Structure 1
Amino acid sequence: MVTSEQQSAWDAAAAVLDPEVPAVTVADLGILRSVEMTGGRSVLAKVTPTYSGCPAVSAIEIAIDVALREAGFDPTIERVMSPPWTTDWVTTEGREKLRAYGIAPPVQASNSLRALFGDTVVACPRCASTDTTRVSEFGSTACKALYKCDACHEPFDYFKCI
């Protein structure tokens, strides 16, 4: 059973924005795995980075620590690598926030062969056209690919399936 105190701790940690895509929270991306009460006002927040070399993971952990401290908790942050994060963990709300921000959300399940080998139809987040072309396997970050829309001619990032 989740107590109101545990819910408050979750809410504080879950509100932390992703430093690379500040339109989504760590909860939207599924990076925040859990927040557990460990005694008194002490909490353990478990975080899984999008990939092991993600340069933002330390910033995310520090931001969660700060958010929990500002909410009156004494946090410990634990990086959890197993099971590894997948784009399947991005919430429906997170996918819509990515789209609204101009990043095409992952469109396939992470275990899809098409997703793994790049044979994916990606809709433009601006005009919704599927007449798009991959320009580069890497976009603004390693977890995104760069696409252009052949309908509205706008470039955009696509959050790759992992």
Structure 2
Amino acid sequence: MSCKASWMAIALAAVLSACSSVPYAQRMARRQAAYAAAAGAPVRSFHFYNLYSWEPLGDSQVAVYTQVNRAWLLDVSLCQNLEFANAIGLTSFGGAVSVNFDKVLVGRGYPPCFITRIRPVDVAKLKLEQQAQRKIDAAPREQGSAPAGR
């Protein structure tokens, strides 16, 4: 990527982040709370054959989806570049990802991040939690009232 394209990408990211009405830290805290509420009791490992999707939740947590409706919340040792990685990888042995043995890989030049805890995520409960966060309180306008700003 050329220097000019890099600066354009950075400028675009800055503009898009400025458009958000909710600060990044607050959005991230809501996402972490939603996943924590939907996460079950810790397990030692899970079967892993395919990484369907993933979502970073700060520098010490990541949600990984092995199927559309099967997700795992992974707590990791302090993980550099996790929030900004374009792709991640998971190590596994014999088709299983295990606590304190396997790692999250975030790219060249960054150390692997050891998985310290694994919790299954109830995806249906997570979706309900996300919908509740999106809910707004709406009230009808009084008749004859002028819109704000006029």
**Higher RCO, 1 or 2 (CA under 8 Å, sep at least 6)?**
2
TM class, shorter-length: under 0.3
Whose helix proportion is higher, 1 or 2? 2
